[in-house]
Homo-oligomer: A and B are copies of this chain.
């Protein structure tokens, strides 16, 4: 099943989330309106808002609260990307120039701040304080996680653990926010909230590992950014870590990460070496395992159609090519 087929049962409601995103960009400061349109209308998959809606379907579907929360999730996600691109000096985002490239760093910084606030305001619109707290906690986890990466000496023996903690903070935390808030807002009991929290966590971990795999094996046009982007920014993800763990005397990855030798041909050689080494398949198995774990307790959800949608979404995450 492709993503459009999986989301088909919630299509009308996702459309309401789109309208909420468009309303959020309807601001009487022309530059802010232009910027918000640029970042919210650039072809995101809307995976996180869909998760909020799908998890809401597990209990008493409360669309009036779910729609602003789903929009808050997407806006928070996009805001972190706007700030991340400044930090990572990324050129492209979803195939278009990153905001800071087009409008400058100050504008991108302020836009991110504005979007955090807008997302917080939408979370408050749900009228649910637990959800508002989860929202703030998630942004603390994301920014605290990035800060925790700074100035840490590289230690190969701790690299895998550190990688998992990092992707948990930067990606899985937003997935759990999406699923937990969906469940909370629809009045699920704590047991079901936990099931959906775990689902979000494991799905988010799988999603990020696949993202990091696609940075090696994906297609530039489909991804909207060049292959090998992570290595060319000196970012070490699971494929590189597993390659170096299996080839401790290799010097190519080290020269890129430590000695900052990041020209196109060096990065391209490293990408090819990692692709032909078998670690991509190992990483893929790890991602698939996370997806299995995501679904292990879904039978606690009564509605079989909701179970199926969540299962199909987990299957999609490991099969996706962008």
Q: Which residues of A come within 8 Å of B, CB atoms?
A: 27, 29, 31-32, 35, 83, 86-87, 105-107, 109-114, 116-118, 120-121, 124-125, 127, 129, 132-133, 135-140, 142-144, 146-148, 150-151
Contacts and interface: CB of A to CB of B under 8 A. Distances in A.
Sorted nearest first, the 10 A-B pairs with minimum C-beta distance are A117-B139, A121-B136, A120-B136, A113-B143, A114-B143, A117-B140, A87-B106, A29-B148, A124-B133, A124-B132
Contacts of A29: 144, 147-148
Contacts of A113: 83, 112-113, 116, 139, 142-143
A169 to B, nearest CB: 10
A106 B150 contact: yes
Nearest to A127: B129
Contacts of A31: 147-148, 150-151
A77 to B, nearest CB: 13
A146 B116 contact: no
Contacts of A135: 120
A32 B148 CA distance: 7
12 contacts: A29-B148, A31-B147, A32-B147, A83-B113, A105-B105, A107-B147, A107-B150, A111-B143, A116-B139, A117-B140, A121-B136, A127-B129
Nearest to A119: B136
A135 B119 CA distance: 12
Nearest to A32: B147
Contact of A118 (B109, B132, B140): B140
A151 B87 CA distance: 23
Contact of A137 (B86, B109, B117, B133): B117
Contacts of A124: 129, 132-133, 136
Nearest to A148: B29
B27 A144 contact: yes
A132 B128 CA distance: 11
Nearest to A116: B116
Given A136-B120, A140-B117, A146 B110 contact: yes
A38 to B, nearest CB: 13
A114 B32 contact: no
